Amino acid sequence: MNTQFGFVRVTTAVPKVVVGDPAANTREILSMLNGLPDSDIIVFPELCITGYSCADLLYQELLLEHARAALVSLAQVVDSQEMAAVVGLPLQVAGKLYNCAALLARGRVMGIVPKTYLPSTSEFYEERWFTPSGLNQAERVEIRGQSIPFGVDLLFDMSSAVPALVMGIEICEDLWAVEPPSGQMALAGATLLVNP
């Protein structure tokens, strides 16, 4: 990150997604990460690891396991590039499925944020598969031997790279709520709000 002037270069990236194929999507995300060496934070779309329109495939444990594996491998690549990335994936925690965004930095998954407001109008029916963050009771989740902070109230201190940089993450529909999670994050000290 450009510490000389205190600027943060945030890039939004939209990979070509293959629905239900975390391996193909991981390759596409990796290709984009390698092609954006001047970015400090790269924000990928909601559910980019599996594809948003997986529908009932989200009930398959094999898909969920491959998404978790992809998350870990992406984190390792981000470490070698001195950047941070936000990626989306479905994640099962304590028997409930959440639509999540994960922050990857320093070779690790720094934290995972579940979506709070699930759309259920017109073509959107996320409530069929996902649980809103308000029903979450877990504070950490275990993925491949790493204990990762989990929750909607996470703030990520990035001040070692840029002074006073504290990042908050919410997901899509959360932004349009009457009281979006980002409002509480800003009040708690977030200086950069990210929304895949």
Question: Does 115 participate in catalysis according to the annotation?
Answer: yes
| Dihedral-angle region of residue 195 (phi above 0 means left; psi in -120 to 50 means alpha; beta otherwise) | beta
Question: Does 96 participate in catalysis according to the annotation?
Answer: no
In terms of Cβ atoms closer than 10 Å to its own Cβ (0-12, 13-18, 19+), residue 151 is middle
Q: Which one of the listed residues 115, 126, 170, 173 is annotated catalytic?
A: 115
Q: Which one of the listed residues 46, 126, 170, 173 is annotated catalytic?
A: 46
Whether residue 46 contacts residue 171, with contact meaning beta carbons closer than 8 Å, is answered with: yes
Q: Which one of the listed residues 48, 54, 100, 172 is annotated catalytic?
A: 172
Question: Does 46 participate in catalysis according to the annotation?
Answer: yes
Q: Rounded CA gap, 114 and 172, in Å?
A: 11
Query: Which residues are known to be catalytic?
Result: 46, 115, 172
